[in-house]
Amino acid sequence: MASPASLVVGLMSGTSLDGVDAALVDFSTGQPHTLATAWLPYPAEIRQQALQLQAARHDEIHSAALLANELAHCYAEATHQVLANAGVEAAQIAAIGCHGQTIRHQPASGYSVQLNNPALLAELAGIAVVADFRSRDIAAGGQGAPLVPAFHSAVFGHAERHRVILNVGGIANLTDLNRGKPASGFDCGPGNLLMDAWIERHQGQRYDETGNWAAQGQVLPELLHRLMGDAFFTASPPKSCGRDEFHMPWLEGHLAGTEKPEDVQATLLELTALSATQAMARWCGEPDELFVCGGGARNQTLMARLQRHLPNRRVASTDFLGQPADWVEAVAFAWLAWRTLQGEPGNLPAVTGARGPRILGGIYPR
């Protein structure tokens, strides 16, 4: 067993609002080695509260504080699950790296809000917590996101091949790993969040498993053109986005109201594939390979569309690089917490636009 100083739990709850990913990671060799994983679905009430807090509402400060406390209990439970899966005690863990639940992302206004109560999480878990990863980068003039490209650069780079990593969570982001050049990256648009919201409205399902429903529809060219007309897609990096930019009212504003639901789903899937591949062509050049992580890597229809847009390049999940696609972000936040504990920077200024490398996060002792 690795020494306690090298074991870190990474927790990620993203814009999809489906639940908490937990990964127990060993850094004793200097590279991340995942020992165990766990997933805790959000109760319906927590998910609904988080959605409501995406917009201004009455008594939102009180509501946000209460939700942060509830989330801390969810994060503690996910931590206990992953430790139980590994047969490891809390006393053996150096820290928990916890991203928190984003409810507002406004870097142009100087802030990004991730709900969390890291002090309560440390108390409940009996483990030190590293949290609030975005604010230092924003204080240094950056976007505070995306943060995972630094991790992608550390574990997925190749000396002889030009790789791009596409992370498809609620939001999609690209990391450009070109041999001999500094890593770069940016958010490229919606990932799963619009598809998830649309299928939940019409089918009562949380997500379109393997993309089957989208595959039953037809892409609507006029709707796709209107959606792709959003200024975010042509804005130059560094850039980041979230539910502040892409949400159901945004989609509804582009609908005529006569579309078949499955055709809208097919068009939303194509929006994710096209916005990502066009952004790659515009800002990443001609890579040899595209590796996909996040929940979108399990959407077979999306993977097929990506391959169709990139007919002469390899398109595969990060499973083939030794990092299972479902757990890359949780492992990334374990890595970011490990960097903080080591006094090492966790951001990439070329990605976020910060004035320089910064040590990210605050430490809440056990």
Residues 160 and 298 in one domain: yes
* 80 and 204 share one domain: no
| Shared-domain flag, residues 159 and 14 | no
Mean pLDDT estimate for the chain: 95
Please say if the pLDDT value at position 1 is more than 80: no
One domain, residues 173 and 297: yes
Question: What does the pLDDT look like over 151-185, one tens digit per residue?
Answer: 999 999 999 999 999 999 999 999 999 998 999 99
For residues 39-45, average pLDDT: 94
Residue 341 has pLDDT above 90, yes or no: yes
> Which residues touch 123 (CB under 8 Å, ≥6 apart)?
none
- pLDDT tens for 197-234 read 999 999 999 999 899 999 999 999 999 999 999 999 99
> In terms of domains, do 109 and 182 share one?
no
Say if residue 211 is in the same domain as residue 318. Answer: yes
Do 208 and 106 fall into the same domain? no
**Do 168 and 315 have their domain in common?**
yes
Q: What's the domain range around 173?
A: 148-325
Residues 205 and 265 in one domain: yes
Cα torsion 46, 49, 50, 55 to 10°: value is: 180
Is 272 a residue whose pLDDT tops 90? Answer: yes
Residues 207, 133: one domain?
no
Q: Residue 154 belongs to a domain with what CATH number?
A: 3.30.420.40
Residue 189 to residue 233: CA distance in whole angstroms: 7
Split at pLDDT 50, 70, 90, the class of 25 is very high
Q: How many domains does the chain have?
A: 2
Q: Which residues contact 211 (CB under 8 A, 6 or more apart)?
A: 269, 299, 300, 301, 302
pLDDT of res. 198 = 98
Are 185 and 152 a contacting pair, CB within 8 Å? yes
Over range 335-347, report the average pLDDT: 97
Whether residue 195 contacts residue 169, with contact meaning beta carbons closer than 8 Å, is answered with no
188 in the same domain as 216: yes
Asked if residue 216 and residue 339 are part of one domain, the reply reads no
